[in-house]
Structure 1
Amino acid sequence: MGTASLGSGWARGAQVVGMALVLAAGPAGAGEPAQLGPRPFYLVDSMKPGPLKERLQACGADRPYTARRFSISHRGAPLQFPEHTREGVLAAARMGAGVIECDVAFTRDRQLVCRHAQCDLHATTDILARPDLAAKCSQDFQPADPATGRKASARCCTSDLTLAEFMSLNGKMDASDPQATTREAYAHATPRWRTDLYATTGTLMTHDAYIALVKTLGRRFTPELKAPEVPMPFQGYSQDQYAQAMIEAYKRAGIPASEVRPQSFQLRDILYWLKAEPEFGRQALWLDNRDETDPGFDPEKPESWKPGMAELTALGLRTLAPPLWMLVRVGPNGTIVPSAYARAARSAGLDLITWSLERSGPLKDGGGYYYKSIRPLIDRDGDTFALLDVLYRDVGVKGVFSDWPATATFYANCMDIE
């Protein structure tokens, strides 16, 4: 598909003027530009010489850019904005994310809100600076003790608060310092490669508010049902009720299942949706986290895949969503090639979506977790596009979650991806 027209559904947008970030008065929607800013072009400039760099350079900064479904907003735009906030969602939409995520958790009064984890409020909000609410945390701040080696810690959960209490908080950049001896130092620990420049305001969102906002932006939805960090049932609230409540919110809002990609790390949630809400279930993404939970898992050894690809398709799964590194490995002559896991998924007829681009900080030292299977090949920020190109062309991914959607939006426009 070529460049979408400015008024076309949720692939709306306009254009970047030079390399400047155009600031809009309202949210990106009908008639508003896809504002890429300088980062995609900085990444191209830092690439190794070759045909891919030449093609991306030829794409240019003065052509029209529009939102694309290939570009999926991961938690908003948390490279620079507090995650799961209204401000982050608007930034993601302005950067052309065609699909925007809300990680769904529940409050003490069983209301659904956007938060990456049920128990991350101590790292992602100002709750520790609010004594009345910090006192309600499962565990208030405990300072580090260098003498004993104890690390600083806190545990503040959405389920510790009512919806009204949750909504009174302010979002901040996700960070905490395990060596801190004061709560201020613990909370204010944003990595140097991120920024607090846009963290003075972080408007938290309910799941319903997220749906309403994304609907007005003309983008699609990808809610993730977060694994509860409290015993279930919670005050009589079962896992199935929780999974159903998330879907009911879209039905109440009149959002068709075709515009919603539910996610979960728990396969049991996917199977529940396939049975109870098959139209939504067929759209669901299983976030395969076996790399973290199964010490025997190896993306190059099919015998370690439990369940295997054929079992997953037999269960009705259509889309698998593993982390970036699981889909690639080092190939001959220093190339990046699809992993056996990726090839088997495609052979089994499974679509692939992956996460999360632009979450690793500077790549000069190999890129960390998200690049671990190809670390010897990663030594500069421009390698972001080298990986992305293999994921699209050779692995065949249908979309990429990104902490800074402009990067994936730029690539999708340059390659004419929807």
Structure 2
Amino acid sequence: MSLVTATPQVATGSEDGLSYGPRPAYLVNMLPEGALKEKLQSCAGQTPTRSSFSIGHRGAPLMFPEHTVQSNVAAAQMGAGILECDVTFTKDLELICRHAQDDLATTTNILTTDLAETCITPFTPASGNTPALAECRSSDLTLAEFRSLTPKMDSFDKTATTAAASQGGLAPWRSTQYVDGATSMTHAESIALFKSLGTKFTPELKSPAVEMPFNGFSLQDYAQKMIDEYKAAGIPPSDVWPQSFDLEVVKYWIEHEPEFGKQAVYLDGRYSGDSPLNPMDPDSFSPSMQELADMGVNYIAPPMWMLLTLENGQMVPSAYATKAKTAGLKLITWTLERSGPLTTGGGWYFQTVQPAIHDASGYYQVLDVLAQDVGIAGIFSDWPATVTYYANCMGF
């Protein structure tokens, strides 16, 4: 049975089979009294419609195993207009959907199977203050071997003394309710599935965990193969936003696949490293926003916190956001609904505005500033219904 015909269908709340579920109303009701709450409450009776402003981040991994058929079906049913396959490769150079080439120990059951012997770092139990560890790579498995693994929620119990016990450790705000029957995908299968669901595509070429070339497979071969799978499937370049944290990869697409390169997304990870970018200090931007634009980059995607700062206790666009817009760059950001409860400020994703974050209504407060004041073109979410509801209400 194909992945497309195996797609589960559920009864939902609109003629198009889309549903917000209860979460948007739950978050809206928590908002403080004011214009934003009134506006969002006024849309309570709206019919859900698909929006490209709402991007499924690995599907809907708040409650579904990431990069599975089921996770992406859920995201599409929440109205996500764009879905993501993070792309890496197997030992036999097949492209698969996986957040990282070395994440199998946390996202599959490999440590409890015979394939555990392929792990570059075998399971090592916790001892004293030393946490348990393991590292297992898709590049050490054939596609057939990868398919034999069972997806699970991304977790690893660092206190575990057995491989079986290491399968736990799930963050308490996530869920194992929808784990049974989860199905992994190749990149080509994700294209077929997303097309059948009526969404567009944002594949991310993940940085290899192995030295390149790998078995004669160069980084350029890898970047080209990802694009070639869209061309083979007859997907128009205007429906694809290829992503990479590697600026050289983005430039490769701009030069060698210019139609796809028009929408290539530079994922900006320059917040770490020896000379980190300071989103409040344009002098730290190297290359500058204008230099990126001059290279042919049209889309840039930093984490949410880089786009925001506080002035007199109010959330406003950062210098980074202002400079990007001045240079004509379109902004996409990540990742809403990836933090736990926001009662303590929201953690890493909200770090520049933490004093203004008090509870879960902060998701909509941040989203509103990003949409209305920063002017983002879209946002990744681990539970796309939250964003879809906002986008439908605001006309995005």
Q: What is the TM-score normalised by the length of structure 1? A: 0.91
Residue 281 (1) aligns with residue 261 (2): yes
- Percent of aligned pairs with the same amino acid: 52
Cα-Cα RMSD: 1.3
Question: d(CA) in 1 for partners of 2:64 and 2:50?
Answer: 19
Aligned to 2:86: 103
Aligned residues: 388
Question: d(CA) in 2 for partners of 1:394 and 1:32?
Answer: 31
Q: Which string of whole-angstrom CA distances, capped at 9 and with x for unpartnered residues, describes residues 40-71 of structure 1?
A: 111111112211011111111x3211110000
Contact 2:83 2:194 in 1 (8 A): yes
TM superposition shift of 1:292: 2.3
Aligned to 1:17: none
Q: Name which of 405, 410, 414 aligns with 2:384.
A: 405
Q: Which string of whole-angstrom CA distances, capped at 9 and with x for unpartnered residues, describes residues 287-311 of structure 1?
A: 0001123444210111111111111
Moved more, 375-384 or 177-186: 177-186
* Secondary structure of 1:291's aligned partner: coil
Code of the residue aligned with 2:297 in structure 1: it is L
Aligned to 2:120: 138
Residue 40 (1) aligns with residue 24 (2): yes
Aligned to 1:53: 37
* Secondary structure of 2:344's aligned partner: coil
Q: Which string of whole-angstrom CA distances, capped at 9 and with x for unpartnered residues, describes residues 43-101 of structure 1?
A: 111112211011111111x3211110000000000000000000001000000000000
Q: How does 1:201-350 map to 2 (within 5 A)?
A: 201-332=181-312, 334-350=313-329
Q: Which runs of 5+ in 1 are unaligned?
A: 1-23
Contact 1:78 1:88 in 2 (8 A): yes
Q: What is the TM-score normalised by the length of structure 2? A: 0.96
CA 1:292–1:202 in 2, change beyond 3 Å: closer, same or farther?
A: farther
* Secondary structure of 1:313's aligned partner: helix
Aligned to 1:368: 347
* Secondary structure of 2:96's aligned partner: strand
Question: d(CA) in 1 for partners of 2:260 and 2:87?
Answer: 16
TM superposition shift of 1:182: 1.6
Code of the residue aligned with 2:327 in structure 1: it is A
Contact 1:27 1:93 in 2 (8 A): no
CA 1:27–1:264 in 2, change beyond 3 Å: closer, same or farther?
A: farther
Question: d(CA) in 1 for partners of 2:255 and 2:275?
Answer: 31
TM superposition shift of 1:222: 0.3
Contact 1:321 1:352 in 2 (8 A): yes
Q: Name which of 98, 122, 126 aligns with 2:109.
A: 126
Contact 1:105 1:113 in 2 (8 A): yes
Moved more, 385-394 or 176-185: 176-185
Contact 2:88 2:96 in 1 (8 A): yes
Contact 1:33 1:66 in 2 (8 A): no
Contact 1:27 1:94 in 2 (8 A): no
Q: Which runs of 5+ in 2 are unaligned?
A: 1-7
Contact 1:287 1:320 in 2 (8 A): yes
